[in-house]
Chains A and B, each alone.
Chain A
Amino acid sequence: MSHHKLTQKLWLSLLTLPVFFFIFFPLLWLFSASLSTQVELFAVPPHWIPQAPTLQNYLDIIFPGQAASSVPRTFATALLNSVKIASAVTIVCVFVGSMAAYALTRIPFKFNRSIQLGVIATRMIPEVSLVLPLFIIASRLQLINKPIVLVLTYLSFALPYAIWLMAAYFQTVPIELEDAARLDGCSRLGILFRVVMPISVPGLVSTAMFVFLLAWDEFFYALIFTSTLAAKTVPVAIAEFVGRYVVNINGMMAGGILAAVPPVLVALIFQRYIVRGMTAGAVKG
């Protein structure tokens, strides 16, 4: 590497430090709190590294049964629910949404514009506003407290989101490629599945990740539509660490760390596909 490039690389690498600080300062605090006892959390000045670290908060959650309150015991079930629901939403969104996004960005047809506007419009209303009517429907269909109700209600805002994102990725695919395929005699569907999709793998995977995290994060619908362990998700379980008089912050932080693990794992798995996509499908000329 040339001297110039080396200095450049050095400067760039130094720039990553403030970014890391911004990301990790709150996280390390979160982590430290999850390893502390309640008394230690109230220390002034704060103990950056717990002086009497304990794994009790994690143990209460991972090995339920000994736990003092019912919340940690049920955390694992809530985690599983969240994984199921977020996965279901993601799979549906990526498949169904990518097809829709392609149609809207590349196929000129009569109602293209109006459908685009319609899809955008569904995301304009705050989710909070639709809770009551959705609850009434869900309760009439006897769907309350079943995971499917969250999957369906999440689709209402996740699907337009997915369509939007993938439309953007499809637009960055050079049109020449599609024209070339058309000249070769490919049908629309063929172009979509044989040319556009493979190149857009990074985009598809990113969208999958975003939708997964969107569903993972959602709080208010989960709070209102689920009551029992049958369908309770992680954010609701964490909210329960705050009772009327008891705020188990350490437990909540431990729960928060554990709650972040599945999405991070998902991201780790997907990162490989992004890299593969880049080296395999990098477009040159």
Chain B
Amino acid sequence: MRTLYKISLLVLALLFVAGTVGCAPKPAADVVTIHVLTMDQAGLKPAEIDQIAREFEAKNPDIKVNMEYLGYDFIHDKITTGMAANPPAYDAVMIDVIWPDEFIKAGYLLDVTDRITPEMKSGMFPASWNGVTRNGKVYGMPWLMDVKYFMYNKDMLQKAGITDPPKTWEELVDQAKIIKDKGIVEFPIIWSWNQKEGVVCDYAVLLYGNGGSFVDANGKPAFNNDKGVEVLTWMKQTLDDGLTNPSSISSDENMVRDNFIAGESAFAVNWLFQYSDSNDASKSTIVGQAAFAPMPVYQAGADAGVKGSSVDGSSSFAIMATTPYPDQTWKFLSYLTSNEVQTRYSAEMLPVWQADFEGEALKQLEGATPNNPVTVPAFLAQFPYANERPTVPYYNEASAALQLAIQEALTGVKPPQQALDDAAAKWIELAGK
């Protein structure tokens, strides 16, 4: 009897399991649902993108748009798994500027060259197409242009008696020393040098500012030449001299922002978001104190003719090659990135259409938010100098090798030349496979 009781409990439990599951609602016939994966807070907030999606659905009753928002760190993994299924889990995804080569080689991206209208091509900033164009073929639509900016704390410089922000990295070191010696902050400079992509971005800014490059004209690694080694040695030196915050080695861009807006540093290189956060009274203690300056370069670089240096960190939207609904997805993407929509939301995100930065439109753009009068000119001044990271399909692994090398040099595990040489050897090995 007890046995029977127990067995019936088991059956009930299994039924409970089955009942818990719940059935998925059956989709209405003739309505196509497309799934789009995008980064949380890359430009527009999820609520705003949802709004755009609802507008689109109202104009196109036969298409439903399912948006999914995820943090940057997780997107790549979701794309990889999503594409393993057939049909793919997503019809369109937001991609970082460093992913197209890998994804094109894996056959994930749809060639949309023929769908790009001439007005799109000429209307958007030419640089914005870098994130989706390879070998003359276009694989997506630009969305958000972002570069790294040089920001400093006006008040701290004033307190230290410094009138102008530095134009070269050498000047930066001098100014940092003054600020440190005057006791204004203990570590005047903060960087995102932790073992993630951020450290390669910072290194790119510095490397090109020294007249160096990642690869030479033949595509062979060049970052381990004397220019690259100088940069890495300089980075370590600022740590040793107590000018760069030692926590930089474990900091990503969010932590750099945290540090800067808490008034713990005088100079911080970061993406655009740091500025508006610095003026957000609910988070920042330095409201009104942050300012932009053109990204410094090295004296050697300036002598060699380098006028500016930054790194491209843009995001774009791409259509998955195996999607069953390329046309509907394209319709949505072209709506999302259209001039009309971008202008309406220009208070939240700088558009990628050049017309918005000219004449009357420019005045309107600058007036859209309290921060825009500062950020718009900064954007226009900095992005022309944005450099690209190497466009190779094995970029993730190559970057990992470089991240490791930089970290080893910064923590004193290997001397800079050796660390970079080892990374270069790895790049050559990867290119050969």
Instruction: Classify A-B as touching or not with yes or no (CB < 8 A).
Output: yes
Residues of chain A touching chain B, judged by Cβ–Cβ distance below 8 Å, are 37-39, 42, 44, 69-70, 84-85, 87-88, 91-92, 95-96, 131-132, 135-136, 139-140, 144, 146-148, 151, 189-190, 193-194, 223-224, 227-228, 230, 239-240, 242-247
State which of A96, A131, A139, A247 has its C-beta within 8 Å of the C-beta of B89: A139
Contact, CB under 8 Å: B282 / A39: yes
Nearest residue, chain A, Cβ from B262: A42
Which A residues touch B64, using CB under 8 A? none
State the total of A-B contacts with C-beta under 8 angstroms.
Answer: 114
Cross-interface CB contact of A144 among B10, B21, B89, B285, cutoff 8 Å: B89
Contacts of B78 in A (CB 8 A): 223-224
- Which of A70, A92, A190 is B17 in contact with, Cβ under 8 Å? A92
Given contacts A91-B16, A92-B14, A95-B10, contact A70 B271 (CB under 8 A): no
A92 CA to B89 CA in the complex, in Å?
Answer: 29
**Which of A95, A230, A247 sits near B254, CB closer than 8 Å?**
A247
Q: What A residues does B261 contact at CB under 8 A?
A: 42
A146 contacts B22, CB within 8 Å? yes
Known: A140-B85, A228-B66, A244-B71. A146 touches B282 (CB 8 A): no
A132 cross-chain contacts in B, Cβ below 8 A: 81, 84
Contacts of B69 in A (CB 8 A): 70, 240
A244:B283 contact, CB within 8 angstroms: no
Partner of B47, one of A70, A131, A230: A70
On chain B, the residues within 8 Å of A70 by CB distance are 46-47, 50, 69
| C-alpha gap A189/B261 in the complex (Å) | 67
**Residues on the A chain within 8 Å of B117, using CB:** none
The verdict on B68 contacting chain A, using a C-beta distance below 8 Å, is: yes
Whether the pair B273, A44 counts as a contact (CB closer than 8 A) is: no
Instruction: Verify if B284 is at the interface (C-beta below 8 Å from A).
Output: yes
19 further interface pairs, Cβ-Cβ under 8 Å (given A39-B285, A227-B35): A39-B283, A42-B285, A69-B47, A70-B46, A70-B47, A91-B16, A135-B84, A146-B21, A146-B24, A147-B22, A148-B17, A148-B21, A151-B20, A224-B81, A240-B70, A242-B254, A243-B41, A243-B72, A244-B39
A69 to B10, CA, bound (A): 42
A244 in contact with B40 (CB, 8 Å): yes
Q: Which chain B residues lie closer than 8 Å to A230 at the CB level?
A: 24
- Chain A residue numbers with a CB within 8 Å of B50 are 70
**Cβ-closest chain A residue relative to B68:** A227
Answer yes or no: B77 CB below 8 A from chain A CBs.
yes
Of the candidates B3, B66, B81, B84, the one having the most CB atoms from chain A within 10 angstroms of its own CB is: B81
**Is B68 touching A135 in the complex (CB atoms < 8 A)?**
no
With beta carbons under 8 angstroms apart, the residue of B13, B85, B273, B282 that contacts A136 is B85
Q: Once the chains are docked, how many angstroms separate the CA of A243 from the CA of B273?
A: 12
Q: Please, how many residues of chain B have a CB less than 8 angstroms from a CB on the other chain?
A: 51
Q: Which residues of chain B from 235 to 280 have any CB-CB distance to chain A below 8 Å in the complex?
A: 253-254, 257-258, 261-262, 264, 271, 273, 277
Is the pair A223, B271 in contact by a Cβ cutoff of 8 Å?
no
Please tell me which one of the listed residues B72, B85, B89 contacts residue A244 in the complex, with CB atoms under 8 A apart. Answer: B72
Is the CB of B45 closer than 8 A to any CB of chain A? yes
- Cα-based distance from A177 to B273 in the complex (angstroms): 69
Distance in angstroms from A110 CB to nearest chain B CB is 24
B41/A147 in contact, CB under 8 A: no
Q: Are B84 and A136 touching (Cβ within 8 A)?
A: yes
CA distance A132 to B17 in the complex (A): 25
Indicate if the CB atoms of B41 and A246 lie closer than 8 Å: yes
Q: Is B9's CB within 8 Å of the partner chain A?
A: yes
B13 touches A37 (CB 8 A): no
Q: List 23 A-B contacts (CB under 8 A).
A: A69-B46, A70-B47, A88-B20, A91-B13, A95-B9, A135-B85, A139-B84, A140-B85, A146-B24, A148-B17, A148-B20, A148-B21, A151-B20, A190-B3, A223-B77, A223-B78, A227-B68, A227-B89, A228-B68, A243-B39, A243-B71, A244-B71, A245-B273
- B residues near A228, Cβ cutoff 8 Å: 66, 68
Bound together, the chains give a CA A268 to CA B314 distance in angstroms of 50
Q: B40 contacts A135, CB within 8 Å?
A: no
A96-B271 Cα distance, complex, nearest whole Å = 53
B283 close to A38 (CB less than 8 A): yes
A243 to B252 CA separation, bound complex (whole angstroms): 13
The answer, yes or no, to whether B42 is at the interface (CB within 8 Å) is: yes
